[in-house]
Amino acid sequence: MAEETKKERVDRELIELLNELRVALPGVQVLFAFLLTVPFSQRFSQITAVQKDVYFATFVSAAMAITFLIAPSANHRIQFRRDDKEALLLRSNRLAIVGTVFLAGAVMGTTFLITDILFGALATGITTSLLAGLLVWFWYGLPILRRLSAQERQPPS
């Protein structure tokens, strides 16, 4: 099988990135829709000031996640046939990573709110901390560790 050209590699990587975003976007959109309805529920007026602050930060995080995760598709459409795919790919990759950071914040904030309302401070601290650790480890820690170990195995140039 022939080696892929630089153009083929960039095309493939851009398609892969856009496909990955198709996986993340429905989840963050459903979360955002859920968060849109919360202030209109009867019990919202009964939440504490801390819970309201966490709600607002969670809502904004979800909105930011949508913004950053949709940006690569919007950029791709605007840059269509401009022969700038490699720069688009690098920018889109960064936007997607930032989007996942905001998504992680929105997931943790939602977990905090629901756990705090249902079970109180101790369960909230344990659950949110555990989830934060899992998100950081599986979304960022493992890939960064893998990337660093791959760099160590490469001979110096």
Residues with pLDDT less than 50, the chain = none
How far apart, in whole angstroms, are the C-alpha atoms of residue 106 and residue 93? 20
What pLDDT, in 10s, does the model give residues 55-76?
999 999 999 999 999 999 898 8
How far apart, in whole angstroms, are the C-alpha atoms of residue 146 and residue 157? 20
Looking at residue 156, its pLDDT comes to: 61
Q: For the whole model, what pTM was predicted?
A: 0.88
* Structure tokens given for 36: 């849109």
How far apart, in whole angstroms, are the C-alpha atoms of residue 71 and residue 5? 27
What pLDDT, in 10s, does the model give residues 139-152?
999 999 999 998 87
Looking at residue 35, its pLDDT comes to: 95
DSSP secondary structure code for residue 46 in this structure = G
